[in-house]
Structure 1
Amino acid sequence: MSEKQIKPATKTALEMGPIIAFFAGYVLLKDREFLIGGQSYSGFILMTALFIPLIALSSFVLWRLTGKLSAMQIMTLVLVTVFGGLTIWLNDERFFKMKPTMIYLMFGGMLAFGLMRGRSYLRVVMGELMPLDHEGWMKLTVRIMILFFGLAIANELVWRSMSTDAWVKFKTFGLPIIMFGFFMSQSGLMARHSTAEDDTPEDDTPTA
């Protein structure tokens, strides 16, 4: 299926909708306990159980609308399912809190592997969104790799040393704000290395 374009607002709503729904549900249910099958579950665990099908549904709708899911979106869905499933099965919220750490470590690790090969794997994912020359992609990849490793450390520090309330707020609002602020701060690099006016940008597709 060929990739189709959708409105940015629609894409943002599909990507952020499950996260906002999780936050809203958690706020409403965080002080309640639910007895299911003879086992007591907190509001956090219940919302985790609802979050998994929500993100699966949003990913499916996004795929149907665009004809494509990025590697990041697929990996995020897989890790949400795995760590969310462990959280529900073991009735232990720590697994779901670890999930962002694993996501950022894996993304950072993949970018680091590409850089060691002299390649920007970031370009494969975002090349159509940001036309940059090779030097620009390499610099941006290094910076985003550092960002991902930094976010992994930050997530570990927050969930291990702060309350569940604090972690949920950090996950829902803090991480997106940091990501938005980071990309805004890269506007100078993107302007210096833009190839938007070039007709034939160089090919930097990773080799097998």
Structure 2
Amino acid sequence: MAEKQINGILKQVLELGPTIAFFLIYLRIKEDSFTIAGTEYSGFIVSALVFIPILLVAMAVLWRLTGQLSRMQVFTAFMVIFFGGLTAWFNDERFFKMKTTIVYGCMAGLLGIGLARGQSWLQFVMAELLPMRPEGWMILTKRLMGMFVALAVANEFIWRTMSTDTWVKLETFAMPAALVLFLWVQIFALQSYLIDPAADPDAAAKAKDAPGDDAKG
């Protein structure tokens, strides 16, 4: 089913709003502790638990308005619920911090599996948004896999060696910003592989349909 178009600002609010809400809630209650069902929880853990319904509501609204959710959004929601549950069950904030490492690690692993098969699964997901020759997709996939590995390692280093306050700020702003900047740099670096659909509609159609089976990076 084709995705319904909605206001771009509203879509950004629904996609980024839950993370910003988590950050603001954490800032408000980070020094507090809360007793729930006889167990005392830190402000960080309560913020993580409140984040779950906020994320699910935002995703439900996004699905209602667009008719679609990406696999990555569904996977991320599952990881948030799973590790948020472990965080509450064991009353241990480390589980929620590990979530970021595992999400980035899984994305790197999936791209790596595709590359081992001689395919760019990134092309399969994003070809409609960025028409590009298969060789370009293979290069971008290899580089993005490396970036995901770097972010996973960085997250492990940050949460194991730095304060919770520092981790929240870096996880909320620095790591997503680094990923966006990386992607922008790669788009400019791979200009020679991009296809202009207006100038070469046949090549654009092939790039969109091709799963990247035989492309070599």
Contact 2:87 2:96 in 1 (8 A): yes
Contact 1:71 1:125 survives alignment (8 Å): no
Aligned counterpart, 2:201: 199
Corresponding position of 1:38: 38
- The alpha-carbon deviation at position 77 of structure 1 amounts to 0.7
Identify the residue that residue 159 of structure 1 maps to in structure 2: 159
SS in 1 for 2:41: strand
Q: How many residues are treated as equivalent by the alignment?
A: 207
With the length of structure 2 as denominator, give the TM-score of the two structures.
Answer: 0.91
Q: 1:60 to 1:190 in 2, by over 3 A?
A: farther
Alpha-carbon contact 1:55-1:77 (below 8 Å) kept: yes
Query: How far off its partner does 1:14 sit?
Result: 1.0
Q: Give the match for residue 108 of structure 1.
A: 108
Shift of 1:141: 0.6
Q: Helix, strand or coil for the counterpart of 1:186?
A: helix
The answer to whether structure 1 residue 96 and structure 2 residue 96 are counterparts is yes
- Correspondences of 1:57-206 after superposition (within 5 Å): 57-197=57-197, 198-200=200-202, 201-202=205-206, 203-205=209-211
Q: Residue 120 of structure 1 contacts residue 204 of structure 1 at CA under 8 Å; is this kept in 2?
A: no
Q: Deviations over 1:98-118 (max 9, x none)?
A: 001000010000000001111
Distance in 1 separating the partners of 2:188 and 2:115: 22
Tell me, in whole angstroms, the C-alpha distance in 2 between the residues paired with 1:8 and 1:117: 36
61 and 28 in structure 1: CA distance in 2 versus 1, 3 angstrom threshold: same
User: Structure 2: where are the runs of 5+ without partners?
Assistant: none
Q: In 2 relative to 1, CA 79–165 (structure 1 residues): closer, same or farther, beyond 3 Å?
A: same
1:188 Cα deviation from its structure 2 partner: 2.2
Runs of at least 5 residues in structure 1 that lack an aligned partner in the other structure: none
In structure 2, what is the Cα distance between the partners aligned to 1:83 and 1:70?
A: 20
Q: Deviations over 1:102-139 (max 9, x none)?
A: 00010000000001111111112222211111011111
Scaled by the length of structure 1, the TM-score of the pair is 0.94
Give the Cα separation in 2 of the matches to 1:206 and 1:62: 30
CA contact (8 A) 1:79 1:103 kept: yes
Amino acid in structure 2 at the alignment position of 1:154? A
1:65/1:196 CA distance change after superposition, 3 Å: farther
SS class of match (1:35):
strand
Once the 2 structures are TM-superposed, how far is the Cα of residue 206 of structure 1 from its aligned partner? 7.2
Deviations 1:50-70 (A, max 9, x none): 111111111111112221111
Match of 1:27, as an amino acid? L
Partner residue, 2:28: 28
SS in 2 for 1:105: helix
What amino acid maps onto 1:83 in structure 2? Answer: F
Secondary structure of the structure 2 residue equivalent to 1:40: strand
Query: Once the 2 structures are TM-superposed, how far is the Cα of residue 89 of structure 1 from its aligned partner?
Result: 1.3
**Mapped contact 1:26–1:44 kept (Cα < 8 A):** yes
Residues 11, 62 of structure 1: 8 Å contact kept: yes
Contact 2:3 2:66 in 1 (8 A): yes
Let me know the Cα RMSD of the aligned residues.
Answer: 1.4
